[in-house]
Structure 1
């Protein structure tokens, strides 16, 4: 056996049945194994997660972009003072939406001191992905069975360094998570320099990206957009990452994005401002201006 073979991450050994519907609380899941040993998880026929044997290898592009921002943000955190409790100095990260927990799994491998909580509404799915993908246990990675907005509203102020929104019902984000109420809760639960990352899948011509940028800009002092050029102009559907913070956004993000396999950029401030002007501030639950 070569050194390269010995270093290759082991494939998943406790997967459920493959290429067949698996009952979960919200419908069915389906697992498909690729040639490289990675596993595609579909929820009710829609691709939800893609997990590689190497936890830090993220197949979905938008998750790579999120991890890049999180890396830059956590690298900029001040070192804990001597004698500080380990739990108090550990980065606190929350995820709205779990699926197969691809991103939390990658963060746990990259930042083992971090403490993460993942909110997933599907109890059966959450139970099974822990086994299928050998996820880290609490306190490194906790799974909370709950509605995303309910969990967000229940958290205390100044709790998290990073908040990630990656919630979908089918192929769309529930409207109650795109409105100003949810943005306000996100700002409330983040620490003063915390960052909010949202996966936005905007159909062409919908104006959804502009609406979300306008909504976040009404709550946060700094908003950024990571997207491919065709997505940024609304010519093609795709996943973009919205970044919001009361503090200046992490440095070096655009430079780091240039090494990604996809031609993706951090939008210029003038582009973000143009989107905010073109968009509507979304109200609670109805996708309309308040």
Structure 2
């Protein structure tokens, strides 16, 4: 769907749920709140402009691969998307510029990850939704361990998740990654963290201390302000949640009607 307010901007929806927004003339423009938060993390994972080896699980309209290619030229990026028809649609209607260093893989995210070499990525971005839910096989401790294996020692994992109070799903995901990574952050709108509504939350995991002050300033001053939780408050949020094993894994919760509706 074209955006009438921006000449070459497009909104991609899948089964009625908004999935991606891209401006072909301004790839640095991130429209969705969660995408802006992922962008803030990508801006702070390394010194500005440094190319990264990135893996994107979930393709959509390739919003973040375009963003990373524009803000960190020379980056090598793999995009893994199970929906081959979606990749073809995006390639036909919203083609990537030549020389962006992005390789598309029509494959299941976890299967591709399991075949990836050890310590081969600087950044792993997970934004995988089957319709409006994260598939169950991407919500287990075994999946988190695969992510940890593929990332380098200074690598960073980012995931777009969605939940609402009492946050059973979100707490379980944090518990999974706490088993694998030393550092965890959670970025979300204060109203979501207070349990007032269903919404997105960005999970960040790393083996090294993150630049929390810089990320906090960026997210707080954004057009859509968000809060960064880390340290003791985040551990308190996790509470007694336990990691989830494959045999017990379930998809993320179904959003309430209208949670991500578009006008």
Report the TM-score, using the length of structure 1 for normalisation: 0.80
**Structural mapping, 1:1-290, within 5 Å:** 31-37=1-7, 38-52=9-23, 53-75=25-47, 90-137=51-98, 140-251=101-212, 252-284=214-246, 286-287=248-249
Q: What is the deviation of 1:130?
A: 2.1
Offset of 1:178 from its aligned partner? Answer: 1.3
1:152 aligned counterpart, secondary structure: helix
* SS in structure 2 of the partner of residue 185 of structure 1: helix
User: Residues 216-268 of structure 1: CA distance to partner in whole angstroms, max 9, x if unpaired?
Assistant: 11111111000111222333111110000111123411112122011201114
CA distance in 2, matches of 1:179, 1:167: 14
Query: After TM superposition, where is structure 1 displaced by more than 6 Å over at least 4 residues in a row?
Result: none
Structure 1 residue 32, shift from structure 2 partner: 3.9
Which protein is bigger by CA-based radius of gyration? Answer: 1
Q: Name the CA shift for 1:56/1:285 in 2 (closer, same or farther; >3 Å).
A: farther
Check the 8 A contact 2:74/2:100 in 1, yes or no.
no
Separation in 2 of the partners of 1:248 and 1:136?
A: 35
Q: CA deviation at 1:274?
A: 1.0
**1:46: how far off?**
1.1
CA contact (8 A) 1:229 1:264 kept: yes
Given that residues 176 and 286 in structure 1 are in contact (C-alpha distance below 8 angstroms), is that contact kept between their aligned partners in structure 2? no
Give the drift of 1:128. Answer: 2.3
Q: What's the CA shift string for 1:2-42, capped at 9, x where partnerless?
A: xxxxxxxxxxxxxxxxxxxxxxxxxxxxx343322321111
> What TM-score, normalized to structure 2?
0.88
**Cα distance in 1 between the residues matched to 2:193 and 2:161:** 11
CA 1:140 to 1:71, structure 2 compared with 1: closer, same or farther past 3 Å? same
Offset at 1:75? 1.1
SS at 1:75's partner residue? coil
Given that 1:213 and 1:275 are in contact with CA atoms closer than 8 Å, whether structure 2 keeps it comes out as no
Question: Conserved in 1, the CA contact under 8 Å of 2:69 and 2:100?
Answer: no
User: Bigger CA drift: 156-165 or 127-136?
Assistant: 127-136
* Partners of 1:206 and 1:253 in 2: CA distance: 23
CA contact (8 A) 1:214 1:277 kept: no
Report if aligned partners of 2:54, 2:76 keep a CA contact under 8 Å in 1. Answer: yes
Bigger relative CO (Cα 8 Å, ≥ 6 apart): 2
> What secondary structure sits across from 1:226 in the alignment?
strand
Write the distance in 2 (CA, Å) between the matches of 1:278 and 1:236.
Answer: 22
Structure 1 segments unaligned to the other structure (5+ residues) = 1-30, 80-89
Q: Counterpart in 2 of 1:15?
A: none
